[in-house]
Amino acid sequence: MSVGAAVSTLGVERLPESVRALSSLGRIDYADHFVLPTDTTAATVERWARVMFGDTPNAAELFLWRGLMGMRLSRSVSADTVAGWQIGEQSGEWIRLEAGSWFLAANLVVQTTGDSVALGTFLRYDRWLAHLVWPPLSVLHRRLVPGVLRKAAARVAAGRVRNGVTNR
């Protein structure tokens, strides 16, 4: 497996329109996009999303997403959700996961091409609290995403997804 370093883009204005257009949010207040070159793109984009996040959120994700961000996530495993996030829309090359809280709305967009996998995060701040909560969390988020992509690439390459169940 050949994996390079993840390349990131931060800021709505810096993202290509083709990437911004994948968000369902009418207004985007925060956006980032990480691309990892890899030769392990044979998996479907939904499989990539499930390898990254699992069918249900782990304890750390629950703490961050539900505890700190107040996200309303599904509590049951479903073909319509990934780690509690609702699958909003998908094509052969991308999948958009959607979740929200009383103070913000979020999209996670996973994309694949012939030689890379990408994860984009889009947020809309609906209340003043989002302006306080997300900026410090975004620093942690931007540190974690490259590792999430690298681990997912290794898992996809190793074939560690069996019968739709992700072994994280």
Beta bridge partners of 109: 96, 120
Low-confidence ranges of the chain (pLDDT < 70): 1-4, 40-41, 160-168
Domain boundaries, the chain: 7-160
CATH of 7-160, one of 3.30.530, 1.10.3470, 1.10.1740, 3.40.470: 3.30.530
> What residue has token string 């890379």?
116
**H-state helical runs in 3-127:** 17-20, 45-53, 59-61
Question: Token pair for residue 57?
Answer: 């959120």
- pLDDT number for residue 40: 67
What 74-79 contacts at long range (C-beta under 8 Å, 24+ apart), as own/partner pairs, is none
Tokens 């959700």, residue? 81
8 A C-beta contact, residue 65 and residue 73: yes
User: What is the reported pTM?
Assistant: 0.90
pLDDT at 1: 44
Task: Please report the pLDDT score of residue 113 as a whole number.
Answer: 87
Question: Residue 160: its pLDDT value, please?
Answer: 53
pLDDT one-digit tens code per residue, 54-92? 999 989 999 999 999 999 999 889 999 999 999 999 999
Candidates 43, 2, 56; CA nearest to 159 is 43
- The encoded tokens of residue 86 equal 């609702």
Give the per-residue pLDDT at 158. 86
pLDDT at 133: 95
